[in-house]
Chains A and B, each alone.
Chain A
């Protein structure tokens, strides 16, 4: 592949990946260099590493395994409200963790809806705190992402394949082994790696749902090293452990992710002839209903607690909402300018390094990146507070990059394979190829990635707390401030506003991308 003429250059992508690696490793180095002689990893740190590995593996596994039937059902069925449902299913993923935890516990907690319901029927309340609680919360947060990624895999199977299979009289089983299983083998490892990496850096969710210090994760150990012991060396060391674990997971995923896809179709609308039996319909319906119920109940809890004070939200919250939209917009532009060249470079084939660099953003501890950036910015005599918003936007973009790549790469790869030769034969390569062929053909994926990035950035507290300027607050920061001032009702209302805005920006960008396409 490497020697073949290609319509797009790999260099912008390699440049973007290099920038990313420099930023993540550079900030890590900045923290390490600032460290005085500290202690190495202690017994407690190893326990944290062990727990983190266990919970992230289980969370990744369950998220992906449960996402398969849900995505399959969504891929096979067409029903009114399907698009709305798919959009809503994505919401838990973009919530700030504190809100997600409160919503989740309002449903599954000791005094939650489920326990209350069980109590009314004479049963004991469920015990949600523990390793299973951590996994439950992580599945709640990541099932939507896993479902979307797998669903996308289904949507990339050309309609002709299903048509042919149907003509050959394949039933559900045969369809699964001939078409769906090879697709899954290609998609699942990467999907697992992404969820694994997200859960690796979990802190507040793991601690709260884990029920106590048993559930200490690496990220909490990093936090402790920074705040409690001021041992920057140990913080940097733990951050390296996080990076290495993610790289191992990603390398395994790349290696396991075999198969070459299904080639090209004529972009017809996908129609399915399998799964028409009553049993299959019932199964699909049950999976969709179960997932919707599981994901929607905590959202309903958030909406219900937010409604009473929603109208009376103070102006400071609305100001913060505008700031957040601004930061998220900036972040999305930054993200696309990093992710698109990287996706093109990966699409040319054999660029595992670029793909890996993309995943680093997930594995890097936000606290370490933020602190490192702070050290670097101060060392060049710039004012960290003046840079609060751009830095927050940049870090948010880096955190969203791995997701964006997962979304963009498959379709970039298809377009390059399919139209690359034609482009070259027309002596069209470089910028015209990107502008006239790549970007238009990837519109749906670009819209999805941009929507996800913007929504994620809206909901992420990010590094703003390290750079906080008293005159500038983002919406998540304002929510934390309301909570800190006992105003939990207002905080709930502000959370609802955040929820609405996040869904809004996601919806607009995602739909904008696939204006004429079938989702």
Chain B
């Protein structure tokens, strides 16, 4: 394909072609995949920006940040999309990000006023199970039960780290006791979300760590209402996914334009049924049918980026201790 573009460039070179500015956005791989939001977002933004949107997919959020650190100030990226609050402080510490100029009326369960990062979607972590099962009603009850669960490794997976923060946010210093209780529930720990979810669908465990929005996929895309997310009494930890502009961008205006576009209906309406998360700003027509059936946690838990960064290493040590017994 590339060659065709080059050929087109040489043969039919016009001033307009050559001058089309390019905006490079680094994001995680599932965003750019044919089944993610990427293709639609690219089309929608290119329709208004008179530019070429170049989406680059790099594994997951943690890999994305590692890549930005590796490339440093000479990065080709103009925008990074796909970090979450657990990574925000580390991202800011690189000094590679610039403040944004976006204003929006967010539909988040929490207040958001970060000068550097703009949220584009969010969700609640939850344990997903087959709807016909009587699920435990809290983390504590789960720890005391003999319900079998699949979780992801916090060292290699975003949801895995999310669960660490969930237990920490709900139980603070008593987190190790909860983990000790959970240890015998854990069937196994996988590298990433896909392995765990795949094993759950094969029936390897009663529940899998995922999102409250997961049943929406099965309901909307597969017309299958056999999956449910268990509401937990302690509340549910949130994942807020954000994007930010790099200070070294050679297209700062275009980057601003993209971030502002990100919180408009054109972008936000794509999110629910491609990324299977809640949009940061609900689009005009509301959420797609099926999202109304999802559980709404009584309480939203979220450590601030600084708290999350401070808690991370200690929480990991507690987790390793409890599960390595």
The finding on whether chains A and B are genuine partners in a shared complex, rather than unrelated, reads yes
What residues of chain A have their CB less than 8 Å away from a CB belonging to chain B?
34, 44, 98, 101-102, 105-106, 109-111, 129, 203-204, 207-214, 220, 223-224, 226-228, 230, 314, 316, 371, 374-375, 378, 385-386, 465-466, 468-473, 477-478, 480-488, 491
Known: A228-B316, A483-B197. 6 other contacts (CB 8 A): A111-B203, A203-B191, A208-B189, A220-B156, A465-B29, A484-B30
Report the minimum CB–CB distance from B294 to chain A (whole Å): 15
Given that A468-B58, A471-B1 are contacting pairs, would A486 and B221 also be in contact in the complex, using a CB cutoff of 8 Å?
A: yes
Does B324 contact A212, Cβ atoms closer than 8 Å?
A: yes
Does A228 contact B62, Cβ atoms closer than 8 Å?
A: yes
Which residue on chain B has the smallest CB distance to residue A375?
B70
Q: B34 within 8 Å of A by Cβ?
A: yes
Which residue on chain A has the smallest CB distance to residue B71?
A378
Give me 26 A-to-B residue pairs in the complex whose CB atoms sit less than 8 angstroms apart, sorted by A's number: A98-B195, A105-B204, A106-B202, A111-B204, A207-B188, A207-B191, A212-B188, A213-B153, A213-B320, A227-B62, A228-B62, A228-B155, A230-B90, A314-B34, A371-B70, A375-B70, A465-B29, A468-B29, A468-B58, A477-B29, A482-B35, A483-B198, A485-B35, A485-B36, A487-B35, A488-B198
Does A471 contact B2, Cβ atoms closer than 8 Å?
A: yes
Given that A465-B59, A483-B198 are contacting pairs, would A211 and B187 also be in contact in the complex, using a CB cutoff of 8 Å?
A: yes
Interface of A is mostly: helix
B203 contacts which chain A residues (CB < 8 A)? Answer: 109-111
Task: Give the docked Cα–Cα distance between A478 and B29 (Å).
Answer: 10
Given that A98-B194, A213-B320, A468-B58 are contacting pairs, would A105 and B69 also be in contact in the complex, using a CB cutoff of 8 Å?
A: no
A208 contacts which chain B residues (CB < 8 A)? Answer: 188-191, 195, 199
Task: Give the docked Cα–Cα distance between A212 and B190 (Å).
Answer: 8
Which residue on chain B has the smallest CB distance to residue A477?
B29
Report the minimum CB–CB distance from B127 to chain A (whole Å): 16
Task: Give the docked Cα–Cα distance between A243 and B154 (Å).
Answer: 26
Q: Determine which of A226, A470, A486 lies in contact with B214 in the assembled complex, contact meaning CB atoms within 8 Å.
A: A486
Which residue on chain B has the smallest CB distance to residue A472?
B1
A101 contacts which chain B residues (CB < 8 A)? Answer: 195
Q: Determine which of B71, B155, B195 lies in contact with A227 in the assembled complex, contact meaning CB atoms within 8 Å.
A: B155
Q: Determine which of B38, B66, B194, B320 lies in contact with A484 in the assembled complex, contact meaning CB atoms within 8 Å.
A: B194
B153 contacts which chain A residues (CB < 8 A)? Answer: 207, 213, 220
A316 contacts which chain B residues (CB < 8 A)? Answer: 34
Task: Give the docked Cα–Cα distance between A111 and B36 (Å).
Answer: 31
Q: B51 within 8 Å of A by Cβ?
A: no
Q: Determine which of B205, B217, B276 lies in contact with A110 in the assembled complex, contact meaning CB atoms within 8 Å.
A: B205
Given that A212-B324, A386-B2, A470-B57 are contacting pairs, would A129 and B194 also be in contact in the complex, using a CB cutoff of 8 Å?
A: no
Report the minimum CB–CB distance from A456 to chain B (whole Å): 20
B38 contacts which chain A residues (CB < 8 A)? Answer: 470
Report the minimum CB–CB distance from B88 to chain A (whole Å): 15
